[in-house]
Structure 1
């Protein structure tokens, strides 16, 4: 008659339980990601229509894709006169516009809140780009550390934090937190 011995390692039960829980956590995380994709806001893109003739700040904003609820950031501009004391001035010819490190905020081209020199004769456009934020939303795999299991939904997109939580000037959409709340409410 043959004998068989089995040795049960300490912590095995916790690791097995964490594996079962990990599967459940991943299913919940994937459900939250899908709900977030359904609720994700559209994005918008700044489009400069007159290319090289556009203002330097508008050329800088060209192609900027951000959540639709967030304002565009255009570098502030300052006119430097020829012969002025400013070191940024042009050596010859008339004065010129230079961009600064600070920004002007605009919901769209020709936004009335922009300074006159940023909006007058502007031919730029703001184009809605649906689905790009949803496409940037994904569930990350669950991780097990000891007996704890955790997982995340991530959205990698410029200025998405401002869209989710808002700023002093704009309310947040809270699409991620709402997605989590809805999925958890359905599981009760």
Structure 2
């Protein structure tokens, strides 16, 4: 009976070659599936004139995943007048930004306070593929005992989007779908 010796660097060689390629294929498959599952984005757009509310001006250009509500700064009405010292308090009177946010799925959303929605002329524009464009897979990180890769999504409020009540879980579902595919067939086809 003959003897066989196993090279001491076999684990490192496997990790650097076939294992790393397999991990890279899995990470790329998850990234592709996450791009397919990702919600579109949406952008708040004002009418660009002097009649636009301060809170809507502050929200102008806000681009977020479409399964999340916009955040509009809260507003309070400060009346025109003078303080006890005789100095003018808000000489023009009117709506001013206040701490906190009102949430809206779209302009004129019924959830908004009436002063935020009535006579609003803003629009919301869908931006397909914007969230998906920020999803990438890293090259495998190879050590003698471990091979790993990372799939990352970079977009404003993308973590909230994954955890949202409406349309959340799209990233997690991508990982589940690819894992099921690889369990069913070794090559993951």
TM-score, structure 2 length as denominator? 0.84
Tell me how far 1:146 sits from its aligned partner.
Answer: 3.6
1:26-45 to structure 2, matched below 5 A, reads 26-45=24-43
What residue is the counterpart of 2:174 in the other structure?
179
Count how many residue pairs are aligned between Structure 1 and Structure 2.
173
Q: Distance in 1 between matches of 2:119 and 2:82?
A: 26
Cα distance, 1:91 vs structure 2: 4.7
Poorly superposed stretches of 4+, deviation over 6 Å: none
Give the unaligned 5+ runs of structure 1.
1-9
Question: Are residues 1:106 and 2:107 paired?
Answer: no
What is the CA–CA distance in structure 1 between the aligned matches of 2:170 and 2:59, rounded to whole Å?
26
5+ residue gaps, structure 2: 1-6, 184-189
Q: How does 1:13-162 map to 2 (within 5 A)?
A: 13-20=10-17, 21-83=19-81, 91=89, 93-162=91-160
Residues 81 and 92 (structure 1), Cα distance of their counterparts in 2 relative to 1, 3 Å cut: closer
RMSD: 2.0
Distance between the aligned counterparts of 2:163 and 2:126, measured in 1?
21
Conserved? CA contact 1:51–1:59, under 8 Å: no
Instruction: Give, in whole Å, the separation in 2 of the partners of 1:145 and 1:121.
Output: 61
Quick one: distance in 1 between partners of 2:63 and 2:45? Answer: 10
SS in 2 for 1:187: helix
Q: Return the alpha-carbon distance in structure 1 between the equivalents of residues 167 and 37 of structure 2.
A: 13
Q: For residues 117 and 141 of structure 1, do their structure 2 counterparts lie closer, same or farther at Cα, with a shift above 3 Å needed?
A: same
